[in-house]
Amino acid sequence: MNNAESSTAASGLAWFKSSYSGTEGGQCVEVAPRTTVVHVRDSKAAAGPTLTVSREAWAGFVGLASSERRV
């Protein structure tokens, strides 16, 4: 995992929010996948810092999160 970076450094990225987020806001994150990394940010603080992780780390997180939802 890399250190957090400013959103200015991550400008020009195409951000995506989960379809599970709905329209009422709440606790949501947005992701901007790239070739080797995935940028993650708080959807309520789009101008704030971003977290950059490897695609492998992101896949592991999503896999764990989705298996937890089924339990």
| pLDDT tens sequence for the chain (71 residues) | 444 444 445 568 999 987 777 666 667 889 999 999 999 998 888 888 999 999 999 999 989 988 765 54
pLDDT at 67: 79
| pLDDT score at 1 | 43
Q: Which residues, in sequence order, are CB contacts of 17 under 8 Å at separation 6+? A: 28, 29, 30, 43
Lookup result for tokens 């309520």: 44
CB under 8 Å to 21, separation ≥6 — which residues?
A: 28, 43
List the domain boundaries for the chain. Answer: 16-70
- In terms of DSSP H, where are the helices of the chain? 55-70
Q: Rounded to an integer, what distance in angstroms lies between the CA atom of residue 71 and that of residue 58?
A: 20
